[in-house]
Amino acid sequence: MTQDVEMKELPAPSNSVTSIVPSTLQHLKEIASLIETGAYAKEVRRIVRAVRLTIALRKKLKTSVLSAFLNYALPSGSEALAKLTSYLPKEDEHDMEVDTATSASHTPNKHSLPEIEIYCYLLVLIFLIDQKKFSEAKACSSTSIARLRSMNRRTVDVLASRLYFYYSYSYELTGDLVEIRANLLSLHRIATLRHDELGQETLLNLLLRNYLHYNLYDQAEKLRSKAPRFEAHSNQQFCRYLFYLGKIRTIQLEYTDAKESLLQAARKAPVGALGFRVQCNKWAIIVRLLLGEIPERTVFMQKGMKTALRPYFELTNAVRIGDLELFRTVAEKFASTFSSDRTHNLIVRLRHNVIRTGLRNISISYSRISLADVAQKLRLDSANPVADAESIVSKAIRDGAIDATLDHANGWMVSKETGDVYSTNEPQFAFNSRIAFCLNMHNEAVRALRFPPNSHKKEKESAEKRRERQQQEQELAKHIAEEDDDEF
């Protein structure tokens, strides 16, 4: 009689953990296969997904893992393998992973694709920047760009756009950003000729950042205005473009357009890009203050921004009150913060707004006040404060900031009584602008319904169908004529 024998489980091998939890090297091999599949099938979305997975793995990269992956992905004895291996720092004994010993069992690719080679350059460049090896990162990025110039494949465009970004970033970290400006212009020209729109918008943003880094706002505006227009393919690049455009418009005193661009960039920015949204809000606050607006308190109380926006909150409070002495104190207190944010020259412009706000409060509070008292309340610290107060009051009256008259003989500012706004034409103008906006929207909707998009691209009937239709019409006409003859 047979008996059932209980089978005992064999002990697991020492490296069985890698089969349960994939290691970093295994993840990189899967990403490489994903890029290879996307290159053969010409599906860019697979390569975009590979780049996203790589960014998620960047904190787990080590020298041993990268060395094993390069030996797996690149042909042995190739020039790319020799160069990339030379950029990696020496391995440490405690830096070895379990699966590096078994990496030799995998057969490396004998004929590496250009996409895989560019991906290896990108991977090593990201690792060197994270390890703060900036000089090696500069050399690696220059080599990768020189290799990238000889490729003209649309499946490389996604990897090339990331490579452009880290190429500029590595030079910015070393303070040598001006050295690659001509190279970036050449790359932008090449991307335009090859119809690489993702590379165009990436390189355009890098060039704008390069110009703005050295305060070359006029050159940045000339480049932006003459660059070819195209539909945005990356939300991140579009947000960067709006931010740079807002900074250019602010320096050029076009505050309304600058406010719209900066607020739109802050709204469209990803939730995880906290630093970028903080910078957008800082510039937007300054622009709104220059426009005479006071931002809401909720702007300064956003999650994760309260500490960073504290200097701008105190600055806004000083502008709202119209206290010139408080404004001067805040500007001196946070001078280092404003200089690092590169908004110090804009804050100097706010002094005139503070004086105008304080003067408006004085004109509302007093029906008649001497110019000496005006200078005292505004805390003017010039050699002749009364004369300065007189010029300030006369300019405010001329600009329409206050409704008052100036008595030069007695040295008084006489404020007029505040009239009812509904007795003026202001409500009519506001109502008219709203009606015009609604009518314009209605007209656009009607035009879109009347002329549907791509209506001119309908398929035209072929010659055979047209011949058959004409023959049927002729037969029908002949048949009708015969029936008419029979009736007669």
The answer to whether residues 91 and 64 touch, using CB atoms and an 8 Å cutoff, is yes
CA dihedral 251, 253, 256, 260 (to 10 degrees): -10
Cα angle 412, 413, 417 (rounded to 5 degrees) comes to: 135
Tokens 């080679």 — which residue? 117
User: In sequence order, what E strands does 105-170 have?
Assistant: none
- pLDDT of residue 1 exceeding 50, the answer is no
- pLDDT of residue 395 exceeding 80, the answer is no
Cα angle 61, 63, 69 (rounded to 5 degrees) comes to: 75
- pLDDT of residue 229 exceeding 90, the answer is no
pLDDT tens sequence across 131-151: 888 888 888 888 888 888 888
DSSP string, 274-339: HHHHHHHHHHHHHHHHHTT----HHHHTSTTTTTTTHHHHHHHHHHHHT-HHHHHHHHHHTHHHHH
Query: How many angstroms separate the CA atoms of 315 and 357, rounded?
Result: 14
- pLDDT of residue 416 exceeding 80, the answer is no
Residue ranges of the alpha helices (H) in 9-104? 17-20, 24-41, 44-57, 63-73, 79-87
Least reliable range by pLDDT among 70-84, 208-222, 435-449, 451-465:
451-465
Element housing 404 (H / E): strand 404-407
CB atoms within 10 A of CB 105: 7
Q: What is the pLDDT, as a whole number, of residue 37? A: 81
Query: How many angstroms separate the CA atoms of 230 and 202, rounded?
Result: 12
Mean pLDDT in residue range 156-182: 87
Mean pLDDT in residue range 50-74: 84
Show the tokens assigned to 86: 């030379």
DSSP string, 352-375: HHHHHHHHHHHHHH-SEEEHHHHH
Mean pLDDT in residue range 72-98: 72
Q: How far is CA 192 from CA 114, 214, 244, in A?
A: 21, 25, 21
pLDDT band at 196 (very low <50, low <70, confident <90, very high): confident
| Of residues 419, 316, 410, 283, the one with CA closest to residue 364 | 419
For the whole model, what pTM was predicted?
Answer: 0.73
Least reliable range by pLDDT among 225-229, 247-251, 409-413:
409-413
| Of residues 229, 138, 215, the one with CA closest to residue 179 | 138
* Range 401-410 contact pairs with CB under 8 angstroms and sequence separation of 24 or more: 401/356, 401/359, 401/360, 402/359, 402/360, 402/363, 403/363, 404/363, 410/370
Query: How many angstroms separate the CA atoms of 309 and 315, rounded?
Result: 10
Cα angle 201, 204, 205 (rounded to 5 degrees) comes to: 90
Query: How many angstroms separate the CA atoms of 197 and 289, rounded?
Result: 36
Mean pLDDT in residue range 387-394: 71
Cα angle 272, 276, 279 (rounded to 5 degrees) comes to: 140
Q: What is the mean pLDDT of the chain?
A: 78
Q: What is the pLDDT, as a whole number, of residue 207? A: 92
Element housing 407 (H / E): strand 404-407
Q: What is the pLDDT, as a whole number, of residue 248? A: 92
Q: Please, what are the domains in the chain? A: 23-89+112-182 (no CATH), 366-418 (1.10.10.10)
pLDDT tens sequence across 341-354: 888 888 888 888 88
Q: What is the pLDDT, as a whole number, of residue 7? A: 42
CB atoms within 10 A of CB 44: 16
The answer to whether residues 350 and 338 touch, using CB atoms and an 8 Å cutoff, is no
Query: How many angstroms separate the CA atoms of 206 and 184, rounded?
Result: 8
- pLDDT of residue 222 exceeding 60, the answer is yes
Q: How far is CA 25 from CA 18, 51, 267, in A?
A: 10, 15, 37
The answer to whether residues 355 and 374 touch, using CB atoms and an 8 Å cutoff, is no
Q: How far is CA 103 from CA 26, 30, 108, 113, 450, in A?
A: 9, 14, 9, 20, 65
The answer to whether residues 389 and 380 touch, using CB atoms and an 8 Å cutoff, is yes
